[in-house]
Homo-oligomer: A and B are copies of this chain.
């Protein structure tokens, strides 16, 4: 999947790019069927909300689930990263599903991902980015991702380590800075159905609100990094900040469909 020059320009200007309905309903059915089982597992890679037993995130899923192992090598997800980052040697810095669980999904404070990659992991430069795949519909009610457009152009901003607001420590940005950025850029929240993709820059300031609805807002994140930009500090566990810098080898575009049909055939 090649992005057009217009799409690349939009990404560079705004800091993000929304691509609706990239994966088919059949492909998404294969993925979403796995999710309740993933979140139900009792293992360190599955973390829960601070104030409830609801799942918050499942990390490093590509290493402990066959379907998501394919997703982590899917060309529709990886190739745009190669284009944007200007290298076909990328590795998976982080791979997680955020649950934003129905009724219990808590906030993610305003932050830049690169602030964490820099402060915690000593990633040399922001030549890394996020590719998000909606595993469920994101709508205006269930705590969609909120971006401050063009905020990536300011580079890495001052951040403080917030270890109390949620169950996941995060380098967050102070209110006065957010106020100033929002006055300049406003806020957007791209919405769409499962199978849509959202690419955003490692320095784009983002957050998401609570989810009080009966609709879980599952999102998969691939944090892709250039192999020549690998992290140099190993403070966080490898399932949060991967120490395996092997370049991703992409699978065929129809890998999920083939897998689903083979499995159906085997079961028949």
- Taking Cβ atoms with an 8 Å cutoff, the residues of A that contact B are 51, 102-103, 107, 109-110, 140-141, 143, 146, 165, 175, 178-179, 182-183, 187, 189, 207-214
Contact = CB atoms under 8 A, between A and B. Distances in A.
Given A140-B140, A141-B189, A187-B141, A210 B175 contact: no
A50 to B, nearest CB: 11
> Interface SS of chain A: helix, strand, loop or mixed?
loop
A179 B212 CA distance: 11
Nearest to A140: B140
Pairs of residues from A and B, 7 with the lowest C-beta to C-beta distance, nearest first: A179-B214, A210-B210, A140-B140, A209-B210, A103-B175, A207-B212, A209-B209
A107 B141 contact: no
> What is the total number of copies of this protein in its complex?
2
B140 A178 contact: no
Given A103-B175, A107-B212, A209-B212, 16 more contacts: A102-B175, A102-B179, A103-B178, A109-B212, A140-B189, A141-B146, A143-B209, A146-B213, A175-B214, A178-B214, A187-B213, A207-B212, A208-B212, A209-B209, A209-B211, A210-B210
Contacts of A209: 141, 143, 209-212
A166 to B, nearest CB: 11
A109 B187 CA distance: 25
A175 B212 CA distance: 9
Contacts of A210: 107, 209-210
A122 to B, nearest CB: 29
